[in-house]
């Protein structure tokens, strides 16, 4: 089944843009942001775009613009460096990555400032909020928030780890997004409001079922019915029932 035959389309949130994806790849590969291995990052960036297309994710045109920018930088880095008349090479001027690095550094500072502000607002809100289950809240505090690209990476690994003969195609009428939304919420109720991404997808051998499950998770996050967390960067993803939405509804 071709990706276009999948009947679901999810538009990515505006806060998950091409710079977010680049920062994700830089952290994932544990490379120096000042010395980006452009060939490796470009290859992985394009792979992510292909996966997002396969999942029918309606990403903004800025992702394609960034892909073209990366390819251009990669091509420029393959060209021989011509020294000035005095035989000197100005590394700062001649490095094709410089402008991109500056954009990433500025965007990273912006994200860190926004995160600090959200944490401050959350702390202020907690002053007026009664926590009914201290043990549950303290456990959640040990986990990190998960970006959409963390979820994409988990999905990519899942497809790679499953043997080709395990992935079977089914007709799109056999599985509905609404069914997966209900299934995920039911599993959370059965397991006390928390389960792992691997547990959720265990036994799923149909490619379309995996895709619809991924899209269902995005929908539930968008509607603030669940939260996605990791105990460490790029670790296993955990799905939590979002109690904050329910508590706000009672206020």
pTM equals 0.73
Domain ranges of the chain: 3-124, 134-247
Query: Token pair for residue 34?
Result: 């000042």
The lowest-confidence range among 30-34, 101-105, 234-238 is 234-238
Residue 154 near residue 192, CB atoms below 8 Å = no
Backbone φ, ψ for residue 89 (5° rounding) = -115, 120
In the chain, % of residues over pLDDT 70: 71
Q: Identify the pLDDT of residue 205.
A: 80
Provide the pLDDT confidence category of residue 209 given band limits of 50, 70 and 90: confident
Read off the pLDDT of residues 127-179 as tens digits, 9 standing for 90 and up. 444 334 444 455 555 567 788 888 899 998 888 877 555 555 555 556 788 99
- In the predicted model, is pLDDT for residue 53 greater than 70? yes
Neighbouring residues of 49: CB distance < 8 A, sequence distance ≥ 6: 59, 63, 64, 67
Superfamily (CATH H level) for 134-247: Structural maintenance of chromosome 1. Chain E (1.10.10.580)
């Amino acid at each position: 089944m071709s990706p276009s035959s999948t009947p679901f389309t999810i538009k990515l949130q505006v806060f998950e843009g091409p710079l977010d994806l680049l920062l994700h790849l830089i952290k994932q590969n544990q490379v120096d942001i000042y010395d980006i291995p452009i060939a490796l990052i470009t290859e992985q960036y394009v792979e992510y775009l292909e996966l997002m297309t396969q999942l029918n994710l309606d990403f903004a045109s800025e992702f394609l613009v960034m892909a073209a920018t990366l390819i251009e930088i990669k091509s420029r880095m393959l060209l021989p460096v011509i020294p000035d008349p005095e035989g000197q090479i100005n590394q700062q001027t001649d490095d094709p990555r410089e402008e991109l690095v500056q954009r990433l550094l500025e965007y990273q500072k912006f994200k860190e400032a926004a995160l600090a502000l959200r944490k401050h607002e959350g702390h202020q809100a907690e002053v007026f909020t009664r926590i009914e289950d201290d043990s549950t809240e303290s456990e959640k505090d040990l986990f990190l928030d998960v970006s959409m690209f963390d979820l994409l990476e988990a999905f990519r690994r899942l497809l790679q780890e499953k043997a080709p003969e395990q992935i079977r195609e089914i007709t799109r009428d056999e599985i509905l997004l609404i069914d997966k939304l209900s299934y995920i919420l039911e599993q959370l109720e059965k397991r006390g409001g928390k389960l792992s991404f691997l547990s959720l997808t265990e036994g799923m051998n149909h490619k379309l079922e995996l895709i619809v499950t991924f899209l269902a998770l995005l929908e539930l996050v968008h509607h603030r019915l669940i939260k996605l967390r990791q105990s460490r960067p790029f670790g296993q993803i955990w799905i939590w029932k979002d109690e904050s939405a329910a508590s706000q509804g009672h206020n």
